[in-house]
Amino acid sequence: MRLAALPRFPLAQLPTPLEEAPSLSRVLGDVRVLVKRDDLTGLALGGNKTRKLEYLIGDARARGATVVLTEGPAQSNHCRQTAAAAARAGLRCLLVLNSLEPDPPLQGNLLLDYLFGAEVHLVAERPARRAVLERLAHELEQRHERPYVIPTGGSTPVGAAAYVRAALELAEQLVERGIQASRVYLATSTSGGTHAGLALGAKLLGSPFHVVGVAVEDDALAIRERVTTLASETAALLGLDVRIVPEEIVVDDRSVGPGYGVPSSETLEAILVAARTEGLVLDPVYTGKAMAGLVGQVRRGEVTPGETLVFLHTGGSPALFAQADHLATVLLSGPTGAQ
Ligand SMILES: Cc1ncc(COP(=O)(O)O)c(C=O)c1O
C-alpha cells in the first residue's frame, strides 16, 4: 500500500483514544459501546477533518501551494479546521461559505474561521459556491499565487486515505485489547470521505467489522454511490487491489430527520443521552444523528444482544453553540427523561 508514500503534514494527535462507554451501554441494554474519539484529534477543537487535512495540506505543500481554498456551509466544521490547518502550515486560506442570511451570526465555526485568519466569501445558495471558488482560484493564479482547491469536506482520494489509516488504527486498538467489535457507526454524507476510507480500510483487513454510515442528509442512494466511487478512487491512489461495490456500503437514512443541519427529537435525545451518560459533546448536524442511528438500531432490536459497537465520534462541537436555540427548547423545559 502506498499510504506511507503520501506527503503528510502532521496535525493530529494519534492514535485517538478508544474509550469504553459503560453508562451509555447500560442505558441501551445488552450491548457494549466503545467510542473512538476522533473529536480529540487535537487541531482547532478536533474532528475527522484533522486526519484528512494532514494529507491534503501535505499534498498542497508538496505542490508548492501558497494558498488553500475550500467551500462549505457557514457552520462547516471542515472549513473551520482547514482555516486552522492552513494557519499552521503558513498558507493563506480562502473560504466560500453559503448562508441564506446575508450577515450570518459570528459564532460557532464561522467565528473560528475569522479567528484563524481565513478570508471569507459568502454566497446565498450551496450551488453557487463552486463557481465563486473557481473564479477566486483563477484570480489568484493571475496574481502568480499557487492555489490548492480542496473540495467539499476534503473528500478526495487523498483526504479519504486518512480514514483507511484510521481503520487500521482502530483495528489495531481492538486487537490489542482483545475486543471483537461487530459494527462501527459514523455520520455520513454526500461528501463521504470518512465513510469511504473506513469502508476501504475495513475491506482491506478482511472486514473485521461492518461500517454503518448514518446519513445526515437525504438521498441514501446518492451517498452510497458517492462513497463507493470515492472508495474505489482511493484504492487506486493507494495501489490497492480491492474492489468495493455499492451493495457493501451500508447507509441507514432513518435518522436524517427534517433535513441537513436540522435536528429531530431523536437527534436531541441522542445528544442528551451521550452527554448525561458519558459526558460526551455531540452536535445537532452530524454526530447527534449518528448516535440517534445507533440508538435506533439497538432499540428496534436490529442489534443482537451482546454485540460490541464502536461509535466514531467525528467532532463538530462548535455547531452545538451555533444551534443553542434548538437545545434551549429541550433543556429549559424541565426534566428531559434522557436517562
Ligand atoms: C462532525 C462531522 N462528522 C462527519 C462528517 C462527515 O464526513 P465526510 O465529509 O467525510 O462525509 C463531517 C463533515 O463535515 C463532520 O463535520
Summarised one tens digit per residue, pLDDT across range 198-255 is 999 999 999 999 999 999 999 999 999 999 999 999 999 999 999 999 999 999 999 9
The x, y and z cell numbers of residue 335, run together, are 426534566
* Catalytic machinery residues: 76
Question: Which of 49, 158, 216, when mutated, tests ligand 1's pocket best, judged by the most ligand atoms within 8 Å of its CB?
Answer: 49
Cβ of 226 below 6 Å from ligand 1: no
Q: Note whether 150 and 83 are within 8 A (CB).
A: no
pLDDT band at 293 (very low <50, low <70, confident <90, very high): very high
How many Å apart are CA 16 and CA 34, to the nearest integer? 13
pLDDT band at 326 (very low <50, low <70, confident <90, very high): confident
Q: Note whether 234 and 241 are within 8 A (CB).
A: no
pLDDT band at 338 (very low <50, low <70, confident <90, very high): very low
pLDDT in the model for residue 334: 65
Quick one: average pLDDT of 81-97? 98
pLDDT band at 330 (very low <50, low <70, confident <90, very high): confident
- Asked whether the CA dihedral 10, 7, 227, 135 is positive or negative, the reply is positive
pLDDT band at 103 (very low <50, low <70, confident <90, very high): very high
Cβ of 82 below 6 Å from ligand 1: no
3-47+155-331: CATH class: alpha beta
Task: Tell me how far the alpha carbon of residue 117 lies from the centroid of ligand 1, in angstroms.
Answer: 22
pLDDT band at 298 (very low <50, low <70, confident <90, very high): very high
> Fold identical between 3-47+155-331 and 49-154?
yes
174-199: pLDDT as tens digits: 999 999 999 999 999 999 999 999 99
Residue 336 pLDDT greater than 80, yes or no: no
Beta strands in 79-127 (DSSP E): 92-98, 119-123
Residue ID of nearest Cα to ligand 1 atom 3: 314
Question: Which of 53, 155, 189, when mutated, tests ligand 1's pocket best, judged by the most ligand atoms within 8 Å of its CB?
Answer: 189
How many Å apart are CA 83 and CA 173, to the nearest integer? 31
Cβ of 159 below 6 Å from ligand 1: no
Task: Tell me how far the alpha carbon of residue 312 lies from the centroid of ligand 1, in angstroms.
Answer: 11
- Provide the percentage of residues in the chain whose pLDDT is more than 90: 95
How many Å apart are CA 129 and CA 294, to the nearest integer? 33
Cβ of 267 below 6 Å from ligand 1: no
The x, y and z cell numbers of residue 250, run together, are 451500508
49-154: CATH class: alpha beta
Residue 8 pLDDT greater than 50, yes or no: yes
Cβ of 48 below 6 Å from ligand 1: yes
C-alpha angle 56-59-61 in degrees, rounded to nearest 5: 110
Task: Tell me how far the alpha carbon of residue 153 lies from the centroid of ligand 1, in angstroms.
Answer: 7
Domains in the chain: boundaries: 3-47+155-331, 49-154
From the alpha carbon of 316, which atom of ligand 1 is closest? 1
Quick one: average pLDDT of 9-15? 98
- Asked whether the CA dihedral 12, 279, 338, 22 is positive or negative, the reply is positive
Q: Note whether 39 and 314 are within 8 A (CB).
A: yes
Task: Tell me how far the alpha carbon of residue 286 lies from the centroid of ligand 1, in angstroms.
Answer: 7
Task: Tell me how far the alpha carbon of residue 67 lies from the centroid of ligand 1, in angstroms.
Answer: 23
pLDDT band at 53 (very low <50, low <70, confident <90, very high): very high
Any residues with CB less than 8 A from the CB of 286 and at least 6 apart, and which? 77, 187, 189, 216, 314, 315, 316, 319
Residue 81 pLDDT greater than 50, yes or no: yes
Task: Tell me how far the alpha carbon of residue 188 lies from the centroid of ligand 1, in angstroms.
Answer: 7
How many Å apart are CA 193 and CA 101, to the nearest integer? 28
Cβ of 152 below 6 Å from ligand 1: no
Question: Which of 314, 320, 323, when mutated, tests ligand 1's pocket best, judged by the most ligand atoms within 8 Å of its CB?
Answer: 314
Residue 337 pLDDT greater than 50, yes or no: no
Whole-model pTM?
Answer: 0.97
Q: How many helices (H) and strands (E) does the chain have?
A: 12, 10
